[in-house]
Structure formats: structure tokens, C-alpha cells
Amino acid sequence: MKIFICVKRFYTSSNLWFDLKAGLLICLLVIMVVLPCGGVAAKAIRDESKPQTGAADTPALKGRYQSFFPVGNVISPRDLGGPRFEMLQKHFAVLTAENAMKPLYIQGNPGVFTFETADKLVDAVLKAGMKMHGHTLTWHQQSPEWINKEGMGRDEAIENLTTHAKTVAAHFRGRVVSWDVLNEAIIDNPPNPEDWRASLRQSPWYKTIGPEYIEIVFKAAREADPDAKLYYNDYNMDNRNKALAVFNMVKEINEQNPNAGGRPLIDGIGIQGHYRTKTNPENVANTLERFISLGVEVSITELDVQSGYNSTLSEAQLLEQGIAYARLFALFKKYAAVLGRVTMWGLDDGTSWLTQTSPALFDRNLQPKPAFWGALDPASFLAENEGRLADFKNEPLQAQAHYGAPALDIADPLWQSAPPIRINQYIMAWQGAQGSARVLWDEQHLYALITVTNAELNKANRSPHEQDSVEIFLDEGNHKSSYMQDDDGQYRVNFDNERSFNPSPIAAGFESRVFVSDKSYTVVVKIPFRTIEPKEDTLIGFDLQINGASAQGIRQSIAVWNDITGSAWQDPSCYGLLKLVK
Ligand code: XIL
């Protein structure tokens, strides 16, 4: 079925622009787009009345936000000079070196500090009247191995940590306004966020020094550059548990160091903001509130919003992305008084670190996308376009579980009484393992049989989700909350019948068996209901995922039944629905 609709304005720039061009708006042919989720039809739209102006004619983002907060972006050597630099200068007030200040590039070899690239960037940025933010003094990624290698003595590790932090912070003193002193120290979705030490990533610094490394590096940075604002920076902060662990960490460290050079040791928390179009702004708001209550500065430090796959965006995906950006910037405006800055991570889709999922404000030809107009003028973009979201909304898929208690055995014919559920929507570019499931229920348990085909059968990775494995998501009460509540759970079984659970207590009473043959395996599970008494026609929140590992032991594909956002692990509102029938 093809649908023709009359399209008003898709790209919302400014009222002025609209006034000038309103007379030129025309109705256009619209082609139906089948969204990846459940084959729900959406209308593709295109507005050819939008002038194909270069970025030169677009309003300046930083000008629009002048009275709210500085808007930033990243810079790399390729941006020096030419149109890219002009765009950075026009739209952004503060820049972060995308890579040049990371430990690997500054001190790849012991004691040999190479500042040339970073210096060039800083000089150009300051000369052009922009400010510079430092990123990052401590991280488990992009750091040289020698600096904290396994088996190194604690004193030597502390020496390496402080020497690096002090030398680098002192070098850029007076030229950077702030530093990400520490990047990504907290694990994802920590089960016990009240205990922030138990929530720390087992990184090389943690292993060689222990949790004290955090205070040590912040103190070193303060000493070397007392004027720079010192930040803790992390991703997935819209996850409640992660935000809570960060909150507890910063709170305790600042309580213990209330007067580190005249002020608390940690000045700010950076919310990286690597989002997807389905990221719930409510969760972002909750985290902002939580951090602000600490009295620290809060910044959005690495904003991008992924949409589409394989470097292509349908018109629907462009619109969804524009709306996601508009909602986020509307939220940031609300919190402007307490936001230090909002920094984008990447000028355009072509050079973004997540280029496959086109997350930037400008496209591969440096043209503004709906995302740009949404960020520029959230209120009018939403007024113009939000109503259309209904056209693009994906209803969750619904499947049936039939009544009966099968044996935990592939051979039990009872499985065949339940209809198959296909797990074949890929949410990474690679199309690897996929499968199909059948689900049964009785008053105490949910039973599932999941057959996976086209798998490489690899479990070399220490992270269970990177191994060949299946995952079952349950929201027993079907509350569709945007964070994990007591009735929610994620159950994972790999092809070797090794299990992992989120949160861990849901393991109680869980049973599973796995039957392997060549490149396929079948998992059968028996999951006790924990919080409901299921009856005929009960609807529960439910989803299925298959993780496909490569021969190198890295997850290369994710196939799902319903949730194409990839956030089921933390957001039950994305689950599909399972109806218990008799
Ligand atoms: C990324 C850069 O954008 C890439 O060019 C590089 O290859 C890897 O690192 N969180 C961070 C950033 O704090 O430093 C990362 O930047 C993206 C995730």
C-alpha cells in the first residue's frame, strides 16, 4: 500500500525562515516506509521546498543558546582550517579534543610526553575565540598498557597516575577551562548502587591501586591546575542505578574533601549523552535532578542520538531523530541555569565515531538535518512535527504463550502447541545468529524453548552479553516503566548453559538446559513467576534477544523479537507483549 499525504513543513528552521518561505511550500509524494519493528507502516516525507543551502546559510546554534549555555563539539586534526573549522567556529563556543589529549596519544611511552597535536588544536581553538575543554586524564580505554599493567606495584601505579595527570594538567593550565579528570569508572547498571566502591569498573587503575585512585587523580589535577573545573564523566547516566552510584561516589568524595583549594574536590559531573531516538528524556531529567542536588555543575559532554542502520536514514528515522534532539534540547533549556555546557560528539554523520547510525546534527555533506532544526528551535520543531510521531510510532509486538508445563527437553511435543516467535530483527549492522522461540505457561512458571541458528558458538569474551547467548526479558506486571523495577528481569543463557541475571536475585529457581548441534543450539528454560499470579489472558511485558559472537569473541550481531532500540537491558518500556492463553 502506498500512501500519499500532503506535507507541510518538515525542516523547521526559524520563524523568519518560515515566513520567507511559507509561500513556497508544496505538497509532495510520500512513499511508505516499512519500519524495522514489526512491519509497522510509516509515511516517508520529503520537503523539496527546503532550500539546499550550505551550512553557511543556517542560523548559528551557539547564537541561539547564548543566554542558556555554551554549546560545544569535538575537534580533530582533520578539522583544522577549511569549511569544517568554519562550521565549528560558527556553531560552537567550546571544543573538546576528540582523541588528542587521551593518555595513549600524550604519553604512549613512559616519560615521553607528546603534546604537539593537542597543542595545535588548542592554539587554533583559542585563536578563533572558542574555549577548550580537556578530555581525559584517566580512562580504561585509549591508555598505554605500560602505565598500569597487571602485576605493577601499587606505589609505581600511583606514581604513574599522578605524574601523568599533573604533567598534562600543568601543560594546558590556563588554556583549558575544565578537565574530564576521570572517564567511565562505574559499571553499567550496578546491582547495588548504594555501594559505589562495589560499583567500580575493574579497570587497570582499580586493580593496581584500588578505589582510592579516584581521589588521588582528582587531587593531582587540582594541584596542577587549580582554576580548571574538574569533572567526572560517564555514559548511560540515564540508567538509574548507574546515576545513583555516581551520585554516591561524588557525594562521598566531596564530603571528605570539602576544601580542596577552596572548594570541593569534584566540580562537575559530565553526562556523556550517547543516546538513541528512543532514549526516554524523563530518565535524563531524573539524572539531572539527582546530580544537581549535589551542588556540582552538570554538563552534557558527548551528545549524539543514533538513528537508522548502515549509514542510512529513512525519512521517518530522520524525523524521529529530530524530535529526540528537540525534546532533549527543550529539557536542557529548562535546566540552563545549572548546565555548564552541552557538547555534541561529532560535527557530521560522516566523521562521527558512530557513523553507521548517523547520530549528528549535520549529514555527510555537512548539511543540517532535521536533528539540527530540532536542536536549534525545540519548541517550534515539536509544535510542527510532534503530532506526526503517531504516524511513526511502533506498537509493541504481541505474542502468545500457550498453557502447559513441558519437560525441560527439546523432545517434549508440548512445545509444538505454542506458536513460533521469530527473533530476527537485527539491531547492529552485522546479520549473524538469529532464531525462533515457543513459550508456554502454568500458574507457577513461564517456559521457553529458543532455537538459535547461524551462530559461531564462541564464549571467549568475559562479558556474558558478548558471548553466543539468548536473553529473555520479563516485566511481569507489565508496568512499562522506563527503568528496572522489582517485577522486571533479564535472564541470559549462553550455548554452554552458563547463566547470568539482571538483577542477580532473579536467579532463584531458574532452570535451563542447552542442546548444541554444529552452528545451532536450543535453550530451554523454566522461569518462576516471582510477583504475579498468572491467569488466562494475563498480558506481561516480554522480549527476546540473541547475541551473536564473532570468531574473535566479540559480539557482532544482536537479533531481537521486538525491541529494536537495544535498551531492553535497562528499559522495560521497550518490551513487547506476551499474552497467556489457554
Ligand atoms: C571516541 C572517539 O570519538 C573515537 O574517535 C575513538 O576512536 C574512540 O573514542 N566516550 C568517550 C570518548 O569519552 O572519548 C569516546 O570517543 C566515545 C565514548
88 occurs within a structural domain: yes
pLDDT given for residue 11 in this prediction: 29
CATH of the domain at 107: 3.20.20.80
State whether 377 and 487 are in the same domain. no
Residue 35 pLDDT greater than 50, yes or no: no
Q: Say what the pLDDT of residue 528 is.
A: 98
Measured by CA distance, the residue closest to atom 9 of ligand 1 is: 99
pLDDT tier at 552 (50, 70, 90 boundaries)? confident
Query: Given this model, what pLDDT does residue 38 score?
Result: 28
Q: Are residues 381 and 415 in the same domain?
A: no
Higher pLDDT, 427 or 488: 488
Structure confidence at residue 392 (pLDDT): 65
User: Considering only CA atoms, which residue is closest to atom 15 of ligand 1?
Assistant: 98
Q: Which of 362, 391, 420 is the last residue of a domain?
A: 391
Same domain, 293 and 409: no
- Mean pLDDT over 368-397 rounds to 90
Are residues 30 and 101 located together in one domain of the fold?
A: no
Say yes or no to pLDDT of 37 above 60: no
Strand ranges inside 100-224, DSSP E: 131-138, 178-183
Lowest model confidence (mean pLDDT) among 8-12, 109-113, 415-419: 8-12
378 and 418 belong to one structural domain: no
Mean pLDDT of 384-403: 85
| Stretch 27-47: mean pLDDT | 29
Q: Is residue 50 part of a domain?
A: no
Residue 15 has pLDDT above 70, yes or no: no
Task: Give the domain-ending residue among 391, 425, 449.
Answer: 391
The answer to whether residue 196 is domain-embedded is yes
Q: Which residues contact 269 (CB under 8 A, 6 or more apart)?
A: 231, 232, 233, 234, 237, 246, 250, 291, 294, 296, 297, 298, 299
**Cα–Cα distance for residue pair 370/9, rounded to 1 Å:** 11
CA-102 nearest atom, ligand 1: 14
Catalytic site residues? 184, 234, 302
Whether residues 331 and 404 fall in one domain:
no
Is 47 part of a structural domain of the chain? Answer: no
268 and 131, same structural domain?
A: yes
Residue 544 lies in a domain: yes
Same domain for 185 and 161: yes
Higher pLDDT, 159 or 56: 159
CA 513 to ligand 1 centroid distance, Å: 39
* Residue 407 confidence (pLDDT): 98
User: What's the whole-number mean pLDDT along residues 385-398?
Assistant: 80
523 and 437 in a common domain = yes
What's the 352 CA to ligand 1 centre distance in angstroms? 10
Residue 49 lies in a domain: no
Q: Are residues 12 and 135 in the same domain?
A: no
The answer as to whether 212 is a domain residue is yes
Is 42 within the bounds of a domain? no
Atom of ligand 1 nearest to the CA of 352: 3
Residues 317 and 464 in one domain: no
Q: Name which residue sits closest to atom 3 of ligand 1, judged by CA.
A: 353
Give the Å distance between the CA of 99 and the centre of ligand 1.
7
Q: Which atom of ligand 1 is nearest to the CA of 235?
A: 10
- Nearest CA residue ID for atom 13, ligand 1: 183
The share of the chain scoring above pLDDT 70, in percent, equals 89
Average pLDDT on 551-569 reads 87
183 vs 105: CA distance, rounded Å: 16
Instruction: Write the single-letter amino acid at 154.
Output: R
Global confidence as pTM: 0.74
Structural domains of the chain, count: 3
- Over residues 308-335, the mean pLDDT reads 93
pLDDT at position 415 is: 98
Percent of the chain with pLDDT over 90: 78
| pLDDT, tens digit (0-9, with 9 covering 90-100), for 193-232 | 999 999 999 999 999 999 999 999 999 999 999 999 999 9
Mean pLDDT lowest among 22-26, 138-142, 243-247: 22-26
- Ligand 1 centroid–CA 145 distance in Å is 18
**383 and 516 co-located in one domain:** no
Range of the domain at 14: 2-37
Q: Which residues line ligand 1 (CB under 6 A)?
A: 98-99, 183, 272, 302, 353
Examine the pLDDT at 18 and tell me if it is beyond 70: no
If pLDDT is split at 50, 70 and 90, which confidence band does 59 have? very high
Lowest mean pLDDT among 48-62, 82-96, 533-547: 48-62
CB-hemisphere CA count at 13 Å for 466? 10
- When pLDDT is cut at 50, 70 and 90, the band that residue 393 belongs to is low
Does position 54 have pLDDT exceeding 50, yes or no? no
Q: Is the model's pLDDT at 451 over the cut of 80?
A: yes
pLDDT score for 582? 95
d(CA 237, CA 506): 24
* 172 band by pLDDT with thresholds 50, 70 and 90: very high
CATH number, domain with residue 503: 2.60.40.1190
Range 529-535 contact pairs with CB under 8 angstroms and sequence separation of 24 or more:
529/443, 529/444, 529/445, 529/446, 529/476, 530/476, 530/487, 530/489, 530/506, 531/476, 531/477, 531/486, 531/487, 532/476, 532/477, 532/487, 533/443, 534/441, 534/443, 534/446, 534/580, 535/580
